[in-house]
Amino acid sequence: MAEAGPLRELYQGILQIGVAFHHLQAGRFRPVVALLRQGRRYLRSFAPTCMGVPVKALLVAATRCLDEVQRLGPDGLDKFDWSLVPKIEAIS
């Protein structure tokens, strides 16, 4: 909340993608799709990396998850492959 500069969008993108998976656990299709889309929009300008975060890899993984969620549809979220969820590891 305190970040007022351009990095605010980096943080927002990461958080929105993370919150999307919280909604996925609860079976909420529409918020998952919306948050994954918005999170990706926030992150695009920071690729390939920013502050040690591999943004491009996060974007690729989030897109793969979005595609899978859309393929499964609202009634198939319980079949989501959780191994697709991206893990953020800072690059030093």
Does residue 74 have a cis bond before it (omega within 30 degrees)?
A: no
Q: How confident is residue 24, by pLDDT bands cut at 50, 70 and 90?
A: very high
66 near 58, Cβ under 8 Å? no
**Comparing C-alpha atoms, which of 62, 67, 43, 58 is closest to residue 89?**
58
Model pTM above 0.85: yes
Q: How confident is residue 89, by pLDDT bands cut at 50, 70 and 90?
A: confident
Percent of the chain residues past pLDDT 90, beyond the cut: 85
Q: What is the rounded distance in angstroms from the CA atom of residue 84 to the CA atom of residue 87?
A: 9
Interhelix angle 55-72/29-43, nearest 10 degrees? 160
